[in-house]
Amino acid sequence: MNDDPPPHSQAHPHPLSADRLDRYARHIVLPEIGGAGQAALARSHVMLVGLGGIGAPALQYLAGAGIGQLTLVDDDKVSASNLQRQTIYTVRDIGHGKAVSARRWLANFDDRLGVTIHDTRITADNVGAMVSGADLVLDGTDNFATRLAVSDACTTARVPLLSAAVGRFQGQVGAFAGHLPDQPCYRCFVGDAFDAEDCDTCAEDGVLGAMVGWVGTFAAMQAVRILVSGTGGMGDSGWGKLHLMDGLKPGMRTLNIAKDPACRGCGAISV
């Protein structure tokens, strides 16, 4: 995706039938979205990496927004401890794969949306094929190795990335488009000098369920912002902006991330 309207917004039949127009009426009456924006959402393909605390509420609101094609990626299974914050699962899902359970939730919510699932762990070798064809990737995983593999694949495929993380009462959501001139990728933000597997986990540190919901739904809102940007939309896409969320204060502040010319993820990408 670049600064021009995305290809899916040009010269295609209108994707919304009369019943779909009724379903999204509250979006369509918003001048910032309107019929053109809702059609853009219906033609969009979003890949969700991680279907846990962030991915679960993000999926609910992306599906509710009418994203036409969703790719769901997670190799984990549902456990009882997930139910405190991972809002698409029930006790019946315990022991079942998250990707399969998420697809079942989606089918019950709206069987008109396209869905592809991957229940294998993301690696640097397989992520490129998964990212290919997406208009946007939303990563809510909990380890640097996966996040960096996703970031590098997005940069190579020229696909924008929303990266979201949460722990205890703190969260962050950043928008990255390292394939664009002067825009950073996620690797510009975190660098390379750490143990790629070393992330704090909810099991060790705890997390407020509602805090995870705030981060996931905010990430979904940012996804909508990006996907409707070609139609006028909700303002600029916010590339390079990192939103830091504090659930105890409560409050939010925004930082600007600079592109690293020496970044091995995006520094050599040609315009």
Rg from Cα positions in the chain: 18
Phi first, then psi: what are they for 208, rounded to 5°? -75, 125
Phi-psi region of 50 (alpha: psi -120 to 50; beta: other; left: phi over 0): left
Strand 241-246 relative to strand 161-167: parallel, antiparallel, unpaired? unpaired
Catalytic residue among 188, 202, 263, 266: 202
Give yes or no for a contact between 222 and 215, defined as CB atoms under 8 angstroms apart.
no
3-state secondary structure of 87: coil
- CB neighbours (10 Å) of residue 245? 20
Give the containing element (helix H, strand E) for 171. strand 170-176
Question: Is 185 a catalytic site residue?
Answer: no
Phi first, then psi: what are they for 255, rounded to 5°? -115, 150
Q: What amino acid positions are annotated as catalytic residues? A: 202
